[in-house]
Amino acid sequence: MDLSAYQRMDANILLGIVNEKLRLECADLGELLLRYDMSQDVLKQRMSSIGYHYDEMSNQFKAHH
């Protein structure tokens, strides 16, 4: 899936794609950001807007408790 339009993509769809990339392709968030030329601030803001944060232990975006 192309992530070049991640800033305009529906945040819920973006969540699914990003978590899949983290699970299958990228060892951590830093690798994902580099590989897909993404801004950490923008991605984290987009995920926060739907109630998700990055969890380093699971290498996934998870819902806030």
Prediction pTM value: 0.92
Structurally, how many domains does the chain consist of?
1
Q: Is residue 36 part of a domain?
A: yes
| Angle at which helices 11-24 and 40-48 cross, to 10° | 120
Q: Is residue 2 part of a domain?
A: no
Residue 43's nearest CA partner among 23, 8, 1 is 8
pLDDT digits (tens, 9 = 90+) for 3-39: 888 999 999 999 999 999 999 999 999 999 999 999 9
Domain of residue 18 covers 7-63
Please check the confidence at residue 65 and state whether its pLDDT lies above 80: no
How much is the pLDDT for 1?
A: 64
